[in-house]
């Protein structure tokens, strides 16, 4: 009798599992939407477009980028958190959406740890301090001197209140003993336009989105917020070289799916991401915009998010960073 009950139970489990297995095997059978929670032209957008173009070839379906900007990346992220967990809606997440926002926004409509499944980190990139081309400083040391002599005179733009770039700006002021006025935007793209236009003086941004304007002389690179100098830009000082010891960071960009997405589907996405990042042409494209290909596992990605959230909490407490806007 017991054997009969056990056999029946196993049969029922097999019946329940069959649809999921069939779904994973046929996935994807239609285009996949990838939500970038920032306007087009920012670093998350640039990296996501490069990655998904190649992933689509492996998956055999198109991957459509949808830009849903606002609130430091939290509006688009919340949308994906509530999406059907079928692998057809993904998030191009970043430190802003999954590290800074959870610490600084108590009313956040999603839990970065509980409402998403990590697919993997696609790339790392240095952050940078850039300024309008006529800013009266040629390097980081002069930049700090100018700001110290003129507290509150200059303004800095970021991709939004609570964004990782906002946190970098606040941290820079704490480490350098300077005071600059924060002007938030809905993304790096519009922020950059106003710095180039002279309405704002300084931009805290991820290097991939600023690189083109630095190269064509429309923006001036002041300093690299990264452990090492930016490859190809040896004259752009790191924070440590400029005397700001301990102030360093490196942004990450990754793909996430809503909680409940079948493991086999997540595995397919991770595999497609890794194959894309192994492609020499794609790696060259990422490096060409100032990003470094990564392609770690979903488990490593999830662990990194948890570590960085704890570090962010510590930073906010120690530096007493407040959202005053």
Domains with residue ranges and CATH for the chain: 31-124+251-319 (3.40.190.150), 127-238 (3.40.190.10)
For residue 260, what pLDDT is reported? 97
Give pLDDT tens digits along the chain (325 positions): 444 545 555 555 555 544 555 556 799 999 999 999 988 887 889 899 999 999 999 999 999 999 998 777 889 999 999 999 999 999 999 887 888 877 777 778 898 888 999 998 899 888 999 999 999 999 999 999 999 999 999 999 987 777 788 888 988 998 999 999 999 987 778 899 999 999 999 999 888 888 989 999 999 999 999 888 888 898 999 999 999 988 887 888 999 999 999 999 999 999 999 999 999 999 999 988 888 898 777 778 778 888 888 877 877 777 676 655 4
pLDDT in the model for residue 57: 95
The pLDDT, as a whole number, for residue 143 is 97
Burial 305-324 (b: 16+ CB within 10 A, else e): beebbeebeebbeeeebeee
Nearest to 137 by CA among 147, 150, 128: 147
Question: Checking DSSP bridges between strand 32-36 and strand 63-67, what pairing results, if any?
Answer: parallel
Model pLDDT, residue 170? 85
Query: In whole angstroms, what is the distance from residue 12 CA to residue 17 CA?
Result: 9
pTM: 0.77
Placement of tokens 């570090």 in the chain: 311
Q: Where are the alpha helices (DSSP H) in the chain?
A: 2-26, 43-59, 74-81, 95, 101-104, 140-149, 164-176, 188-196, 207-215, 263-277, 280-288, 298-319
pLDDT (0 to 100) of residue 150: 98
């Amino acid at each position: 009798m017991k054997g009969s009950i056990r056999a029946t139970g196993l049969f029922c489990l097999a019946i329940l599992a069959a649809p999921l297995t069939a779904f994973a095997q046929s996935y994807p059978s239609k285009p996949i939407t990838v939500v970038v929670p920032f306007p087009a032209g920012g670093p998350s957008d640039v990296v996501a477009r490069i990655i998904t173009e190649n992933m689509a070839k492996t998956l055999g379906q198109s991957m459509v980028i949808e830009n849903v900007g606002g609130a430091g990346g939290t509006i688009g992220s919340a949308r994906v958190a509530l999406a059907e967990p079928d692998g057809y809606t993904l998030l191009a997440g970043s430190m802003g959406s999954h590290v800074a926002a959870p610490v600084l926004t108590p009313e956040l409509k999603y839990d970065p740890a509980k409402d998403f499944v990590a697919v993997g980190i696609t790339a790392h990139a240095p952050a940078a301090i850039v300024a309008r081309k006529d800013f009266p400083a040629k390097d980081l040391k002069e930049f700090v001197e100018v700001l110290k002599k003129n507290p509150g005179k200059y303004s800095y733009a970021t991709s939004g209140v609570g964004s990782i770039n906002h946190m970098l700006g606040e941290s820079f002021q704490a480490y350098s003993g300077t005071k600059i006025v924060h002007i938030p935007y809905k993304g790096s793209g519009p922020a950059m336009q106003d710095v180039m236009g002279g309405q704002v003086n300084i931009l805290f941004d991820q290097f991939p989105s600023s690189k083109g304007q630095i190269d064509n002389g429309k923006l001036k690179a002041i300093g690299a917020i990264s452990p090492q100098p930016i490859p190809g830009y040896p004259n752009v000082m790191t924070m440590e070289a400029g005397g700001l010891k301990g102030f360093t960071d490196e942004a990450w960009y990754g793909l996430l799916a809503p909680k409940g997405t079948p493991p086999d589907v997540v595995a397919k996405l991770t595999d497609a991401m890794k194959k894309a990042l192994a492609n020499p042409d794609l790696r060259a494209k990422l490096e060409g915009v100032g990003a470094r290909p990564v392609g770690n596992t979903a488990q490593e990605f999830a662990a990194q998010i948890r570590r960085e959230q704890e570090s962010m909490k510590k930073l906010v407490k120690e530096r007493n960073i407040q959202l005053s806007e």
